[in-house]
Amino acid sequence: MALLHLKAITKEYQLGKTTVRALRGLDLAIDAGEIVAIMGPSGSGKSTLMHILGALDVPTDGLALIDGQDLQALKERKLVALRGRRIGFVFQTFNLIQTLSAQRNVELPMVFQGVSKRERARRARDLLARVGLSERVHHKPSELSGGERQRVAVARALANEPEIILADEPTGNLDTESGQSILELLRDLSVEDGKTVILVTHDPEAADIANRVIRLRDGVVASKARHIGEASQTASPDGVESDSGASASGQGGDADA
Ligand code: ADP
Ligand code: MG
């Protein structure tokens, strides 16, 4: 069974009299332990897709399943608990609390899960060490570089030991080098820790760390690269394409970065 399964997902936003159709019957299945890169032009529905995958938003139509469980059937309290424990989010703009130190930022999600003060501090320091910031635990976001801030955000995403990491353009505000190290960090979380990592990016390099690239166009999956390592095959009904084809188009005019 897929860990995350979206079936015929439609998402519409109402803006006055206009209906914006952000997702238009999107199908997607993601297995545990995968690292998936989601690419596509601005406005193609990438963030909307991430919000639905992360149970931050509900689809207008269609089915969103986690371990076969229909997210929309869950009561709000259960949904909040699921989000808090099973999913970690990383955003383009870091979304750290400016008045709190790196350590306190990482501790925050644990407060909501009722983790003791001592345990929070211990885990936060471990996580900051994991992302290479042992020397920065008492620094506030304004005292950190962009790359370091995003590392704090990754550590925070890991606070409650989620199995799923959702990162929406995590390298969008970073220089190439810091961006690359964040991508490597995300890859390690998948390869070494077995986390399922879903990453929205315009960075063609991301295709190298992902075992699958999913391209969105106008709210549907335009194409999916196969799992890396599988034998080459021509397109199948769900638009599967070869790795070479996917990485070649990854260099193309598809991204708007
Ligand atoms: P992407 O992340 O690929 O740039 P989004 O998922 O943010 O795309 O947006 C997809 C479409 O939905 C766009 O046309 C966008 O303008 C629209 N959209 C996104 N969020 C909202 C919202 N809260 N209200 C109205 N329209 C929205
Ligand atoms: Mg977006």
Q: Which residues pair with 28 in a beta bridge?
A: 6
Supply the residue whose CA is at minimum distance from atom 15 of ligand 1: 43
Of 163, 160, 20, 173, whose CA–CA distance to 95 is shortest? 173
- Give pTM, 2 decimals: 0.86
Predicted pLDDT at 227:
52
CA–CA separation, 17 vs 2, rounded Å?
37
Ligand 2 centre and the CA of 39: distance in Å?
10
Residues touching ligand 1 (Cβ under 6 Å) are 13, 15, 20, 22, 40, 42-48
pLDDT tens, residue by residue, 150-162:
999 999 999 999 9
Inform me whether the pLDDT recorded for 39 exceeds 50: yes
**At residue 72, does pLDDT exceed 60?**
yes
Å from CA of 102 to ligand 1 middle: 31
Which atom of ligand 1 sits closest to the CA of residue 169? 2
Task: Give all domains of the chain, ordered by start, each with its CATH number.
Answer: 31-62+69-250 (3.40.50.300)
DSSP letter for 100, please: S
φ and ψ at residue 81, rounded to 5 degrees:
-65, -45
Residue nearest to atom 5 of ligand 1 (CA): 45
Tell me how crowded residue 14 is: count the other CB atoms within 10 A of its CB: 9
- Rounded to the nearest angstrom, the distance between the alpha carbon of 23 and the centre of ligand 1 is 9
- From 12, 14, 20, mutation site for ligand 1 pocket: most ligand atoms within 8 A of C-beta: 20
pLDDT at position 230: 46
- Measured between alpha carbons, how far is 231 from 210 in angstroms, rounded to an integer? 17
Which helix (DSSP H) or strand (DSSP E) does residue 152 occupy? helix 146-157
pLDDT in tens, 183-241: 999 999 999 999 999 999 998 888 789 999 999 999 999 975 545 444 444 444 444 44
User: How many angstroms separate the CA atoms of 43 and 48, rounded?
Assistant: 9
Q: How far apart are CA 88 and CA 199, in angstroms?
A: 12
Task: List, for residues 221-236, the tens digit of each pLDDT value.
Answer: 997 554 544 444 444 4
Q: Whose CA is nearest to atom 16 of ligand 1?
A: 43
Give the pLDDT score at 5: 97
CB-CB contact of 250 with 207 (8 Å) = yes
The residue to mutate among 48, 49, 53, having the most atoms of ligand 1 within 8 angstroms of its beta carbon, is 48
Check residue 206 and give its pLDDT: 84
Specify the range with the lowest mean pLDDT, choosing from 22-36, 63-77, 239-253: 239-253
pLDDT band at 251 (very low <50, low <70, confident <90, very high): very low
Q: Mean pLDDT throughout 14-29?
A: 95
Mutate to test the pocket of ligand 1, among 12, 23, 47, 169 (most ligand atoms within 8 A of CB): 47
